[in-house]
Amino acid sequence: MNHKYFRSLFPVLNTHIYLASCSQGALAQPVSKAIEEYHNSLLLTGRNWSESLNKLEETRTKFAELIGADLDEIAVVSSVSEAISALATSLPDHQKKNKVVFTEMDFPTVGHIWFAQEPIKEHISIIRSSNGEISLEQYEHEVTMDTLITCIPHVNYYNGFKQDIKEIADIVHRKGSLLLVDAYQSAGQK
């Protein structure tokens, strides 16, 4: 990979050290060009459904390659909030396995979505951070056999704290909980 070449695609990097990797992430020239082309196609030719679907499929394929997933594991949605809402509203209804664990380091909208779920809000457990970090022992303690799903950020949005997904997955899966990882700030990075 040519590091210099990839950096040159992001004009803002000439003048800034850019740490945000989110909806306000640095814009790359090819992305800017694609937005412009899409805008122009709307102006000049109007709706182009099949072209849009082709682009969507291309994007799914590339994203599957990026994260090492199969194509049928990739769904494209408009935002993380939409994705988490879709998951939160389609969880199985278990009387004895109904606890939802998320962390203080999740993006605020993630917590709002869990609290907005009527059947879930009585069974929420929030893992607190200490000095901007969360320890594996906290997962060991908070995730219990009645946990249905554990929701965590991979990289924290305000201090960059990176969690050990493999270790957390081992703990969470051992307790029979699903693991939902918000990789918004980490996808595409080592």
Ligand X SMILES: Cc1ncc(COP(=O)(O)O)c(C=O)c1O
Residues that bind ligand X (CB under 6 A): 22-23, 79-81, 107, 109, 153, 157, 182, 184-185
Please report how close the Cβ of residue 62 comes to ligand X at its closest, in angstroms. 19
Nearest to 83 by CA among 98, 94, 73: 73
CB of 79 to ligand X, least distance (A): 3
Residues 6+ positions from 54 with CB-CB distance below 8 Å: none
- Kindly tell me which of 98 and 111 has the beta carbon lying closer to ligand X: 111
Least distance (Å) from ligand X to the CB of residue 80? 4
- What CA–CA distances, in Å, run from 87 to 23, 38, 81, 150, 178? 21, 30, 10, 12, 11
Q: Which is nearer to ligand X, 81 or 144 (CB)?
A: 81
Per the DSSP assignment, residues forming a β-bridge with 162 are 155
Nearer of residues 51 and 133 to ligand X, judged by Cβ: 133
Measured from the CB of residue 184, what is the shortest distance to ligand X in angstroms? 4
Residue 98 vs 183, nearer CB to ligand X: 183
Kindly give, in sequence order, each residue whose CB lies less than 8 Å from that of residue 92, ignoring residues fewer than 6 positions away: 148
